[in-house]
Chain A
Amino acid sequence: MPSFRTLAERLDAINEFDREPVSEDRLQGPGSFIGLYAGEHVAGTEFVIGPLFVAHGVAAADLFLGLLVGNLLAVLSWAFICAPIATRTRLNLYWKLRKIAGPNLLFLYNIVNALMFCFLAGAMISVAATAVGIPFDMAMPQLSDLYPNSAGWVVTVLLVGAVVTVLAILGFEKIAHFSKVASPWMFLVFVACGVAVLPQLGVHTIGDFWQVASEKIWTGVPMEGRVKFTFWHVTFFAWFCNMAMHIGMADMTILRYARKWTYGFASAFGMYLGHYIAWIASGILVALALQIGHEVAPGPIAYLGAGLAGLVAVLIAGWTTANPTIYRAGLAMQTITPNWKRWKVTLAVGVITTVAALFPALMMRLLDFVALYGLLLMPMGAVIFADFWLLPKLGLRQDYAEWKQLLFSWPAALAWFVTLGACLLLNLAGGVEIFFLGLPGWFIAVALYVGLSLLQQRRAAATAAVTTAPSPEPALGERP
């Protein structure tokens, strides 16, 4: 059985080029972040999330206002919570968390993260498969489908999964470049799809739009088996669908390159282009599909809006999102299999991802999955926030695991696990839906981490004072 020390060394080896703070000469201007956020959030998932709002019976006013407020809250979370810590430490999430939580807890975090990445990439392979299957007259999964619905679906997903995996093995960087080239075009495809089908829904002038939007698109009536979404559902979903990235602090990896913390506001380009305009456009498409009895999967609805270009967009959107996700998952998984070559790890991740993609549930229940994904990782972001801002104010030491050379920080671990337990309790006993758990969860995690750190550091200081009376441990908050 590998020792904990070995696990730590493996993690460090993978991140060996990232352990130093970013140097001054490598800092970037605001343009890089605008492009990066705009590209990252106009992706394959947008073809699924917009239609799911329609399926959940969101009313038009609730959608437009909820997205406006929710996306604003997301931008503020990036700007005021993630970016200031990223630009002050210049470290990525990995190294910051390592200092706070210790390498072994970080190992566990990495594994959870990798599994979530696999499922997210799986959803993207499903999305791409709905475009590939159209020329072969494949039976498309419906909004209510959870399991593979035909042999054609299984074969198509396996084929797409194989191609995505092989391309991820052959060259992540080339595909990342291609993905950036596709970004501006992809956004315009969403706009064009939405605008081109409006006349078929009865919108012939701009003045017609609101009436049609309220009566035919976002009608306020959910589909059978779906919970009705209100303004609050839309707001909280828009705020927390990237919870792992902003209050979960994963975007420290990106924002540590920002010259100023205010570049966190660049996330507005991703939110309002991708999570506003693209979601509205894909909602319009699915409303038309439902009205004319057309299939509602991403491929068919994109074809409805833009023909062949729409199919290309779904394929590229799914593929370019799945690719970096498989790459990231492979990096995390490599900690378990240090003797494997990178291609073997990527292959293993690709197999897990492709098997997950066989289940349309991942795509058709994407809202729930995205909420769960963020919630699982968010508590560690709260731990970083509390460690950075609150512990020094209480006279406690930051980065305690690093200072004490601890392999596992129990305050951080308990803050993570107990928060998730409390969220589960709120969900099961209190009936609080998963979309709303992030907010109380964040405060619970902060309070737990601060309280437990106080306990840990006070106890350690008291023990040190008793056992080494002539040369006591340095006072709390003081570096040795």
Chain B
Amino acid sequence: MKALLYVISFLGLALTVVPAFLVFAGAIPWETHATLMFAGTVAWFVTAPFWMHTGSPDAPANPAP
């Protein structure tokens, strides 16, 4: 189950960034990139919180510009 979550999460990240390079290469139109990117966003946020380790120094980060 966890492996499936990993796969979907990384597929989501790939969908977020790869279509932009395809637009740059002239392989897909901007509209397709926007749609795929949104799908990637949904895939990432639906799966990543279940496996992603967010452990870090105990203190919350300083708000930084």
A307-B34 contact, Cβ under 8 Å, with A184-B13, A196-B20, A196-B24: yes
| A176 close to chain B: CB less than 8 A | yes
Interface membership of A319, Cβ < 8 A: no
- Tell me the minimal C-beta distance from B60 to chain A in angstroms: 5
1/0 contact trace for B24-63 toward A, CB 8 Å? 1010001101110110110011001100101111111111
On chain A, the number of residues with a Cβ less than 8 Å from chain B's Cβ atoms is 63
Contact of B48 among A176, A181, A312, A327 (CB under 8 A): A181
Question: Chain B: which residue is nearest A121 at the CB level?
Answer: B63
* B7: interface (CB < 8 Å): no
Give Cα distance in the complex from A195 to B24, angstroms: 6
- For B31, the chain A residues whose CB sits under 8 A away are 307
Selecting from A145-153, A246-254, A405-413, the interface stretch reads: A246-254
B59 CB to nearest chain A CB (Å): 5
Q: Count of B residues near A, CB < 8 Å?
A: 36
B59 touches A204 (CB 8 A): no
Determine if A140 is an interface residue (Cβ-Cβ < 8 Å): no
Taking a contact as CB atoms under 8 Å apart, the answer to whether B65 and A120 are in contact is yes
Please name all residues of chain A whose beta carbon is closer than 8 Å to the beta carbon of B17 when the two chains form the complex: 188, 191-192
From 35 to 57 in chain A, residues with beta carbon under 8 angstroms from any chain B beta carbon are: 35-36, 39-41, 43, 45, 49
Question: Is there contact, CB below 8 Å, between B60 and A193?
Answer: no
Give B38 Cβ to nearest chain A Cβ, in Å.
Answer: 5
Q: Are B52 and A196 in contact (CB under 8 A)?
A: no
A193 touches B65 (CB 8 A): no
Indicate if B64 sits at the interface (CB-CB under 8 A): yes
A293-333 vs B, Cβ < 8 Å mask (1 yes, 0 no): 00000000000001111001000000001001101100000
Asked if B20 and A28 sit within 8 Å, CB to CB, the answer is: no
CB-CB under 8 A from B37, the residues of chain A are 189, 192, 306-307, 309
- Which of chain B's residues has its CB closest to A173's CB? B60
Q: How far is the CA of A204 from the CA of B58 in the complex (A)?
A: 46
Chain A residue nearest to B55 (CB atoms) is A32
Please give me the residue from chain B that is nearest to A312 by CB atom: B41
Min distance, Cβ A127 to any Cβ of chain B, angstroms = 12
Q: Please, which residues of chain B bring their CB within 8 A of the CB of A36?
A: 56-57, 61
Once the chains are docked, how many angstroms separate the CA of A447 from the CA of B41? 51
Query: Cα distance A373–B65 when bound, in Å?
Result: 10
Verify if A241 is at the interface (C-beta below 8 Å from B).
yes
17 residue pairs A–B, Cβ–Cβ below 8 Å: A35-B56, A36-B57, A41-B64, A121-B63, A172-B60, A180-B52, A181-B54, A182-B45, A185-B13, A185-B41, A185-B45, A189-B16, A189-B37, A196-B19, A199-B23, A254-B57, A324-B63
